[in-house]
């Protein structure tokens, strides 16, 4: 029997219009453009403004565009997984809200939370549904409205994060293209260094938790940085070794966009030149589950059928992972 792999057959993205520049952040906290650019590579990030608008807004925009680009009727979608750390509500799942809004009436949907590794975890999970042969069209969304959980008085976190996301279509492939390998890892001891303490079942919201700013991201930056540099590079190197790939074989590295210095360290460990590294951190900052689909969206026209692509991410949990895939299509230039 021919082996079925799960191939990405379309990509889309969405970023909100509002641009929060480093200059504007200088008016909000004690920071400066030079520090932010040199320590992170970020120049600006997008912010989703408007009352009562959550992560689903980003996901809906991305999925509507994806359906149009791939000539897919919403009723054809079998499954939609939404990777997010900022769901619209604790429940129901944001995936269900997206399915309802786009008319994916035959799909089942659920959310997957793996912080900044969310998109990679969701992509690997979605691929398994395709590989069984039972599901034909699976959409993976990675989206976050990070501004909803950021304390804009904390200069150690508010300069990093932004809002945005994207979506990919997964379909069966029998030409040996698509997702060929993945390595996913987690280590719960990382919870102490990157978390949002309140709002869950352990510390439900009270006036006190709000007053103590426990509904926003806490990060011990330097500790996370050290784990991220090692974790992301190790797992990307492992996926390369396992598939007998050298830096020369890789057409594109698609890294989670948390810090340009972490991305550079990963590329250097993989022996991949900077011209083969997708990077848009300067424009969008860290959109958590959104970074990798937003990179694929930005660079889609440069990807070619058969390209060896390595995705890599590290995030809260800790969670980290890498996916090796062969790109499945050439973009038709309009």
The DSSP letter of residue 237 is H
Regarding 20 and contact with ligand UT7 (CB under 6 A), the answer is no
Binding residues for ligand UT7, total number by CB under 6 A? 19
Q: 96, 256, 259, 308: which one is catalytic?
A: 256
Q: 22, 259, 286, 308: which one is catalytic?
A: 286
215 is catalytic: no
| From candidates 69, 155, 215, 276, binder to ligand UT7 by CB under 6 A | 155
256 is catalytic: yes
Enter the tokens of residue 269: 């460990």
Q: 99, 116, 158, 295: which one is catalytic?
A: 116
Q: Which of residues 93-132 bind ligand UT7 (CB under 6 A)?
A: 116
Residue among 201, 195, 113 at smallest CA distance from 149: 195
| From candidates 221, 230, 299, 329, binder to ligand UT7 by CB under 6 A | 221
The Cα–Cα gap between 13 and 19 comes to 16
Pairing of strands 5-14, 18-21: unpaired
Regarding 228 and contact with ligand UT7 (CB under 6 A), the answer is yes
| From candidates 259, 280, 289, 322, binder to ligand UT7 by CB under 6 A | 259
Tell me the closest approach of the beta carbon of residue 260 to ligand UT7, in angstroms: 9
Beta carbons of 235 and 228 less than 8 angstroms apart: no
The Cα–Cα gap between 285 and 274 comes to 18
* Beta sheet of 178-186, edge-to-edge order: 178-186, 319-326, 308-315, 252-255
Beta carbons of 186 and 317 less than 8 angstroms apart: yes
Q: In this chain, which stretch among 4-12, 154-162, 163-171, 301-309 interacts with ligand UT7, using CB under 6 A?
A: 154-162
116 is catalytic: yes
Tell me the closest approach of the beta carbon of residue 228 to ligand UT7, in angstroms: 4
Enter the tokens of residue 254: 């698609």
Enter the tokens of residue 292: 């990798």
| Residue length of the chain | 334
Catalytic (active-site) positions: 116, 256, 286
Q: Give the residues lining the site for ligand UT7 (CB under 6 A).
A: 31, 35, 39-40, 116, 155-156, 159, 221-222, 224-225, 228, 258-259, 262, 286, 314-315
């Amino acid at each position: 029997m021919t082996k079925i792999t799960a191939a990405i057959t379309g990509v889309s993205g969405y970023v909100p219009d509002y641009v929060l520049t480093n200059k504007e952040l200088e008016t909000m906290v004690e920071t400066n453009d030079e520090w932010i650019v040199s320590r992170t590579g970020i120049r600006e990030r997008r912010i989703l403004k408007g009352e009562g608008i959550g992560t689903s807004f980003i996901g809906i925009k991305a999925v509507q565009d994806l359906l149009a680009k791939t000539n897919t009727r919403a009723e054809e979608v079998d499954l939609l997984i939404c990777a997010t750390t900022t769901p619209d509500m604790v429940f129901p799942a944001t995936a269900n809200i997206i399915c309802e809004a786009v008319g994916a009436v035959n799909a089942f949907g659920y959310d997957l939370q793996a912080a900044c590794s969310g998109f990679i975890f969701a992509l690997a999970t979605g691929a398994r549904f395709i590989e069984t042969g039972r599901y034909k069209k699976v959409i993976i969304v990675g989206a976050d409205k990070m501004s909803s959980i950021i304390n804009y008085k904390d200069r150690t976190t508010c300069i990093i994060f932004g809002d945005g996301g994207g979506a990919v279509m997964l379909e069966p492939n029998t030409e040996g293209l698509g997702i060929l390998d993945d390595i996913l890892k987690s280590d719960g001891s990382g919870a102490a260094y990157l978390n949002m303490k309140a709002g869950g079942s352990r510390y439900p919201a009270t006036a006190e938790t709000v007053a103590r700013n426990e509904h926003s991201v806490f990060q011990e930056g330097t500790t996370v940085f050290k784990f991220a540099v090692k974790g992301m590079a190790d797992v990307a190197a492992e996926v390369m070794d396992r598939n007998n790939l050298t830096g020369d074989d890789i057409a594109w590295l698609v890294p989670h966009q948390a810090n340009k210095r972490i991305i550079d360290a990963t590329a250097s460990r993989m022996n991949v030149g900077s011209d083969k590294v997708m990077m848009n951190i300067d424009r969008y900052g860290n959109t958590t589950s959104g970074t990798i689909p937003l990179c694929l969206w930005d660079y889609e026209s440069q990807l070619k059928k058969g390209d060896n692509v390595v995705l890599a991410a590290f995030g809260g949990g800790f969670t980290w992972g890498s996916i090796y895939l062969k790109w499945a299509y050439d973009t038709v230039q309009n």
